Amino acid sequence: MTTLDRLRFLLTSHGYKHANKFISNGQGVNITSHSCVSPPRPLSFHSKDIKEVFHRTAAKGHLTLTCSQLSKCFCTVSVNRLCWNCGSTVELFFCSSFKVIQPPDDDNTNYFDIMNCCICFLFLSEQTFSLDTHKLQKRYVELQRSLHPDNFSQKSLKEQEYSERQSALVNKAYRMLQKPLSRAVYMLELKGILLEEGTDATADPQFLLEVMEVNESLAETQGQDEVSAIGQSVREKLKDLTKQINSSLSKGDLQTTKDLLTQMKYYTNIEEKVKERLTKGW
């Protein structure tokens, strides 16, 4: 494993906090790298290895660690967990020895970890806010095949309970990450930034006027072609907003991301109205 590969998963706002604690205590850290492209690869190394990575990389001029850089990452670093049944090391859902299902690790696992889609802009320009939804769906199906409660009907009550909780968590994670709007909202929530419900009083008045005009045009349309044209225009707008959100997240500019998400929220609402009109037919 290269120095850069280790650092890109260690340097997260959540993981860096844990790493500092373990380094100061002389303990080891377990890091699992997640990517939509490749399967997770667990890494285990001692604090002296972490120190060496930091010092060697910094000495070569490859690393300048700042809070703004840390704010660009959405991966996590997890500590070793032990199986409730046999005491062996726990992977994300099952123990390593007897593959016994485990309860969700609510304190250390986020939806990106669950769905194998680590979002880390630091060092990784190719991993962005835009995910491969086909691979996301494939991961979802694979997880549900192994976690679904039907597979645990002959197991203990505890395993049945854990299966239900894990399956529900995977459902929630998939729904959250599947669409750009909910995915970006969740990314901001991981950073403690919440998007207001309803009309945003801080939104640009000119933008709100633009949205109102689009809504009025949609309400006045008399044919499917007109509705489809509005839908195409809205999709182009959403595509452009997605690119802008990508850029702002890669820069760690969370306030700009929040403002852009407010716009995306309005246009996503219009897109749903368009779909509803087209579904009803004429």
pLDDT tens per residue across span 165-220: 999 999 999 999 999 899 999 989 988 888 876 656 667 889 999 999 999 999 99
pTM: 0.69
Pick from 26-30, 45-49, 141-145 the range whose average pLDDT is largest. 141-145
Tell me if residue 200 falls in helix, strand or coil.
coil
The residues, any chain, with a CB within 8 Å of residue 272's CB and separated by 6 or more, are none
Return left, alpha or beta for 145; rule: phi > 0 is left, psi -120 to 50 is alpha, else beta.
alpha
Domain with CATH 1.20.1280.20 in the chain: 205-280
The count of C-alpha atoms lying within 13 angstroms of the C-alpha of 23, restricted to the half-sphere facing its C-beta, is: 14
What does the block give as tokens for 186? 């969740």
pLDDT tens per residue across span 37-52: 344 444 443 434 444 4
The residues, any chain, with a CB within 8 Å of residue 220's CB and separated by 6 or more, are none
For tokens 């006027």, what's the residue?
Answer: 209
How far from each other are the two terminal CA atoms of the chain, in whole angstroms? 59
Mean pLDDT of 97-121: 83
The Cβ of residue 151 has, within 10 Å, a number of other Cβ atoms equal to 16
Domain with CATH 1.10.287.110 in the chain: 3-178
Mean pLDDT, all residues of the chain = 76
Instruction: For residue 196, give the DSSP letter.
Output: P
Amino acid code (one letter) for 98? F
Q: Let me know: does 19 contact 77? Beta carbons within 8 Å.
A: yes
The count of C-alpha atoms lying within 13 angstroms of the C-alpha of 200, restricted to the half-sphere facing its C-beta, is: 19
List the CATH code of the domain at 205-280: 1.20.1280.20
What does the block give as tokens for 134? 């086909």
Cα radius of gyration rounded to whole Å, the chain: 22
Tell whether the model's pLDDT for residue 22 goes beyond 60. Answer: no
Whole-angstrom Cα distance, residue 111 to residue 97?
25
Mean pLDDT of 232-254: 92
Q: If 0-12 CB within 10 Å is exposed, 13-18 middle and 19+ buried, where does residue 107 land?
A: exposed
For tokens 């690119």, what's the residue?
Answer: 243
Query: What's the topology of domain 3-178?
Result: Helix Hairpins (1.10.287)
